[in-house]
Amino acid sequence: MMSSDKAAVFTITFGVACAVLYVICTEVNLPLLTYHPVIGELDPLWTPEKRGPVMYWYGWMLTSLIGASALAFAATAVPERWLQRAILVGAFAAVSYLILYTLALFVYDRASIELALLQSRWLSAVIAVAAAALLGCLAPAGWSERLWPGWVWVVPVGALAVLGYYLSPYFTH
Amino acid sequence: MIFWTTLLIVHGLLAVTLLGAITHQAVALWLPVRAKAGSFVARFRAVPGTSYVGAIIVLYLLTFVMGAWIYTQYRFTARLALEQLRFFKTVGVFEMKEHLATIGLILLPAYWAFWRRPLSEDYAAARRQVTLFLAILVWANFLIGHIANNARGFGS
């Protein structure tokens, strides 16, 4: 079995990790710096508005770029099949969470009794991770031999779908 | 105002150049010419994709940096006006533009790795997919930039 070269492993992992971290940073609001464009001031980490609007985008990018670089360096040191399996399980978990949480909210909306537990993101997340770990174990060995280069566009497409979903209020206003 | 308008025009010109280069490369990769190129379209498809890689990366970075710079001015001038005019869809697509631009930036290292010479057959499929994805991102950002710019009209 041939293994991928280090540059490819680094760049593929960087792309995957950066897309995931960027989505997390935008949704949880984790900027490494905050820019205040009206007064031209730059603050470390998250700070509230001072005068006029505030910009976190540069901070989100910085957080995800640094985090993804660290993960990509680490990835070059681990066996390629571990890396492939980790991304595979992560992708399974993300898709499972999406399906489970959508189903949970669907059932909650139509149930004749109050099922508040179904509204919990954590419940769907825990089940999704467990299901993904199981699927990861059951996946054919051939799926984990080499790092699949297609992750580098599949994961960012998923990230864009999530980011687009969170922007939907702009279009339903 | 003249300074930011000049910057916006330069950003637009860089975007046009990038759009041409990435479209050329993507078309040549997905629809390669098998016979001798005769017509304009066939010659468009016959370009060697590898010769565009460095230019595309540099143009993307330059366009991105200029866009990120202009964004500081947009945030407290044009965007506030768009919100007051209740152009929420325009504001929304512009928010999407910042995400699309970031995802494109994230792709660049892998794009470079897949296009390294000699071209590896191992990454032939990924090379095609990433190039197409990057082309789609550049086109989307170009069109969104136009929409946002046209929302109030030049110089208004």
Chains A, B: CB pairs < 8 Å = 100
Question: Are A56 and A83 in a shared domain?
Answer: no
Question: Are A72 and A5 in a shared domain?
Answer: yes
In a domain, A111, yes or no: yes
In a domain, A149, yes or no: yes
pLDDT in tens, A154-165: 999 999 999 999
In a domain, A98, yes or no: yes
B112 CB neighbours in chain A (<8 A) are: 11
B130 CB neighbours in chain A (<8 A) are: 152-153
Flag if A8 and B123 touch (Cβ within 8 Å). Answer: yes
In a domain, A134, yes or no: yes
Question: Are A9 and A61 in a shared domain?
Answer: yes
Overall domain count for chain A: 2
CA distance A62 to A60: 5
Question: Are A53 and A122 in a shared domain?
Answer: no
Flag if B103 and A159 touch (Cβ within 8 Å). Answer: yes
Chain B contact present for A39, CB below 8 A: no
List all residues of chain A from 100 to 139 with a beta carbon under 8 Å from chain B: none
Question: Are A110 and A66 in a shared domain?
Answer: no
Q: Give the residue numbers spanning the domain of A35.
A: 1-77
> Tell me, what's the ipTM?
0.92
Residue for token pair 């041409």: B20
Question: Are A46 and A21 in a shared domain?
Answer: yes
Q: Kindly report the pTM of this predicted structure.
A: 0.92
Angle at A53 between CA A49 and CA A59, to 5 degrees: 75
CA distance B56 to B51: 10
Question: Are A90 and A146 in a shared domain?
Answer: yes
In a domain, A1, yes or no: yes
Which one of A49, A57, A71, A154 makes the best mutation probe of the B interface by having the most chain B beta carbons within 10 Å? A57
A64 CB neighbours in chain B (<8 A) are: 106
Q: Which residues fall within 8 angstroms of residue B140, CB to CB, at 6 or more apart?
A: B97, B100
Instruction: Give the three-class secondary structure for A150.
Output: coil
Across B134-146, b (16+ Cβ under 10 Å) vs e yields bbbbbebbbebbe
Per-residue pLDDT of chain A (173 residues; tens, 9 = 90+): 456 789 999 999 999 999 999 999 999 999 999 999 999 999 999 999 988 899 999 999 999 999 999 999 999 999 999 999 999 999 999 999 999 999 999 999 888 888 888 888 899 999 999 999 999 888 888 888 889 999 999 999 999 999 999 999 999 86
In a domain, A99, yes or no: yes
CA distance A116 to A102: 14
Instruction: Give the three-class secondary structure for A173.
Output: coil
- Put residue A42 in one of left, alpha, beta given phi > 0 → left and psi -120 to 50 → alpha: beta
